[in-house]
C-alpha cells in the first residue's frame, strides 16, 4: 500500500469515527432507549395538558403503561413502580405529526429516470442513522410520512414512520399504518426547471402529458386487476392448470390504490391541476387521500371538501417558483373554514424542528383558534394518514407519543424538554446538554489522533517523482430535482 493510499485510509477511518462521535448515541446511554428494555410505567404530572380532543387540563397528569396512555386527568395517582416526570409549569401536547417529510432516506429521494416509478419504495432505503431523526425529535416530531420525491407523475411508494432514534430501520415503520404512493403535478414532473443544454428529455414535458401519464398508468392497472380477478374467480371455482397473469411490480401498487389499500399523496400547486386529478380519480374510482403543498387550495376549497380530500400545506411559503406565485398565508385557514381537513407540513428536515410555530402562524393569518392551530400538526395529519385511532390526541388507549414544552407550544419561545414515543423518552433536553462536554472531549481526542497520524507520515499523499495524478473527469451538467417544493 503506497503512502497516498495509507493517508486516504486514515482519513476515511477518522471521518467515520468523528461522525459517530458527534452524533447523539443510538443507545440507551443517551437519548435512544434500548430495543430490549420494556416500556416503563411513567406518570407525567402537574402539567397543562393540551389534549386536542377534549380541551385542556390544568395541573393534570398522564399515566403511561405498556407504551399506551392508561389514564389522563386532574387526579391521576402514581403506582408504586412508576417513574415520575414532574412537568410543573410546563405543557404537554400530542407528538407532532409531519405529513410530508423526506428524512431517514438513504440516497436520493427521487427515482426520476422514468415517469412512472411506482416500483420504487422508500421503505426499502430507510436510514435509522440520519441525524435529522434526532433533530426533529428535538422539535417534538414523533411521526413522519416519508415520501418519494416529485420528479414523476406517478412516483414511488411511501411509508409512515415513528422517529424511534436508536432502533434499526425495521423498527421505524408505524405498525398498521396504510402505505402510500407519491403523485406529482406541475413543474416538477414535467421537468420545467431541471436539466440543461444537452440533457436528455423525458416524457411528459407538459401538464397535459402529466395528466395522460397518470390516466394511462391507471388504465393499465385496471386491465391488470381485471385479469387477476378473472384468474382468481376461475381458481376459486376449482379450475385446474390455469396460468396466472404475469406479475407486474409497477402496477401492483396502483391496483392497491384502486382497492383502497394504498393512499395517494399528490404534490400539486395550481387549482386547474388539482381539479384535473380529482376528475381522473373519479374516472377510475379511487380516492386522493391528501393534496401536498396545494398552495391554490383556497381557490377550490369547496371542491376539496366535497371530494373528501385532505390538504397538507405550508404555513407561508410563497413565490419560490412560478406555480407558487398565487400562494397566500391564509391558505390553511381558508380551507379549514370550508370544511377541509388541513395539516401543516415541513417538506424539510430543518422546518420540521419548529412545526409548532408553523402551525401558530395560522392564528395570525386567518384567525384560527389555539385549538384549531394545534390540530394542524396533531389530529389532522393523523386523520390524513389513517392513524388517528392511535395518535394525534391525548386520550386513554392511544400510543403514548407526547411532547413536553417549557411554554405553550404555539409560543415562539417554546422549547421542547422531552419527547416520548410509545412511552419511552427518545429526546431529553437536559440529558442532551449534560452529554455535550463528553462529545467535545471525544471530538478533541479524535482530532488529536488524526493530527498525529498525519505527522507520522508527513509526506503521505505527495506524488512520487514522475507520477501523474489522475485527470479529473468533467462533471455532468447540474441537475437538481427536489423531493418537495422546489
Residue 9 scores a pLDDT above 80: no
Instruction: Give the pLDDT confidence score for residue 29 in this predicted structure.
Output: 38
Local confidence band at 200 (pLDDT 50, 70, 90 cut-offs): confident
* DSSP letter assigned to residue 252: H
Per-residue pLDDT at 367 exceeds 70 = yes
Q: What whole-number distance in Å separates Cα of residue 211 and Cα of residue 201?
A: 18
Q: What is residue 475's predicted lDDT score, i.e. its pLDDT? A: 54
For residues 298 and 288, the answer to whether their CB atoms sit within 8 Å is no
Strand partners, 143: 97, 162
Residue 472 has pLDDT above 60, yes or no: no
Phi and psi of 159, rounded to 5°?
Answer: -145, 140
Output the pLDDT for position 107.
85
Residue 108: per-residue pLDDT: 85
pLDDT in tens, 253-298: 999 999 999 999 999 999 999 999 999 999 999 999 999 999 999 9
**Region 169-185: what's the mean pLDDT?**
98
Distance CA 122, CA 428 (A): 29
What are the structural domains, with CATH classification, of the chain?
96-391 (3.20.20.140)
User: In the prediction, which pLDDT does 5 show?
Assistant: 43
pLDDT of amino acid 480: 42
DSSP 447-468: HHHHHHHHHHSTTTTPPPTTPP
Give residue 30's pLDDT band: very low, low, confident or very high (50, 70, 90). very low
pLDDT of residue 7: 45
Percent of the chain with pLDDT over 90: 81
Question: Which phi and psi (to 5°) does residue 10 adopt?
Answer: -60, -45
Amino acid at each position: 500500500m503506497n503512502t497516498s493510499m495509507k493517508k486516504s485510509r486514515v482519513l476515511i477511518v477518522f471521518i467515520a469515527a468523528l461522525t459517530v462521535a458527534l452524533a447523539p448515541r443510538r443507545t440507551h446511554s443517551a437519548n435512544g432507549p434500548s430495543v430490549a428494555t420494556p416500556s416503563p410505567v411513567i406518570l407525567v404530572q402537574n402539567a397543562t395538558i393540551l389534549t386536542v380532543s377534549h380541551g385542556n387540563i390544568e395541573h393534570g397528569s398522564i399515566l403511561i403503561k405498556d407504551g399506551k396512555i392508561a389514564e389522563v386527568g386532574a387526579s391521576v395517582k402514581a403506582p408504586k413502580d412508576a417513574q415520575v416526570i414532574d412537568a410543573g409549569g410546563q405543557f404537554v401536547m400530542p407528538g407532532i405529526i409531519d405529513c410530508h417529510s423526506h428524512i431517514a432516506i438513504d440516497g436520493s429521494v427521487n427515482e426520476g429516470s422514468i415517469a412512472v416509478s411506482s416500483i420504487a419504495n422508500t421503505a426499502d432505503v430507510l436510514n435509522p442513522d440520519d441525524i435529522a431523526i434526532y433533530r426533529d425529535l428535538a422539535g417534538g416530531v414523533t411521526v413522519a410520512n416519508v415520501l418519494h420525491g416529485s420528479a414523476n407523475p406517478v412516483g414511488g411508494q411511501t411509508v409512515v414512520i415513528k422517529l424511534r432514534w436508536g432502533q434499526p430501520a425495521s423498527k421505524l415503520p408505524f405498525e398498521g399504518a396504510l402505505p402510500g404512493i407519491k403523485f406529482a403535478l406541475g413543474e416538477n414532473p414535467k421537468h420545467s426547471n431541471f436539466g440543461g443544454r444537452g440533457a436528455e428529455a423525458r416524457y411528459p414535458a407538459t401538464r397535459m402529458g402529466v395528466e395522460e401519464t397518470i390516466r394511462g398508468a391507471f388504465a393499465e392497472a385496471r386491465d391488470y386487476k381485471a385479469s387477476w380477478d378473472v384468474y382468481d374467480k376461475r381458481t376459486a371455482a376449482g379450475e385446474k392448470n390455469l396460468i396466472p397473469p404475469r406479475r407486474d411490480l409497477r402496477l401492483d401498487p396502483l391496483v392497491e390504490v384502486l382497492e383502497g389499500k394504498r393512499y395517494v399523496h399528490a404534490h400539486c400547486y395550481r387549482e386547474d391541476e388539482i381539479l384535473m386529478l380529482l376528475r381522473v380519480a373519479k374516472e377510475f374510482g379511487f380516492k386522493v387521500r391528501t393534496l401536498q403543498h396545494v398552495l391554490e387550495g383556497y381557490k377550490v376549497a369547496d371542491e376539496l371538501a366535497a371530494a373528501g380530500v385532505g390538504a397538507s400545506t405550508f404555513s407561508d411559503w410563497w413565490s419560490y417558483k412560478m406555480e407558487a406565485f398565487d400562494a397566500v398565508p391564509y391558505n390553511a385557514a381558508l380551507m379549514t373554514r370550508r370544511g377541509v381537513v388541513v395539516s401543516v407540513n415541513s417538506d424539510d428536515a430543518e422546518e420540521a424542528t419548529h412545526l409548532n410555530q408553523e402551525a401558530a402562524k395560522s392564528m395570525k393569518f386567518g384567525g384560527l383558534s389555539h385549538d384549531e392551530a394545534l390540530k394542524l400538526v396533531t389530529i389532522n395529519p393523523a386523520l390524513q394518514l389513517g392513524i388517528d385511532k392511535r395518535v394525534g390526541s391525548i386520550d386513554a388507549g392511544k400510543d403514548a407519543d407526547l411532547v413536553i414544552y417549557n411554554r405553550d407550544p404555539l409560543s415562539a419561545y417554546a422549547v421542547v424538554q422531552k419527547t416520548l414515543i410509545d412511552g419511552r423518552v427518545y429526546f431529553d433536553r437536559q440529558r442532551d446538554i449534560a452529554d455535550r462536554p463528553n462529545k467535545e472531549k471525544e471530538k478533541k481526542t479524535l482530532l488529536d489522533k488524526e493530527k498525529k497520524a498525519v505527522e507520522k507520515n508527513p509526506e503521505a499523499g505527495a506524488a512520487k517523482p514522475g507520477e501523474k495524478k489522475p485527470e479529473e473527469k468533467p462533471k455532468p451538467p447540474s441537475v437538481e430535482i427536489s423531493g418537495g417544493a422546489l
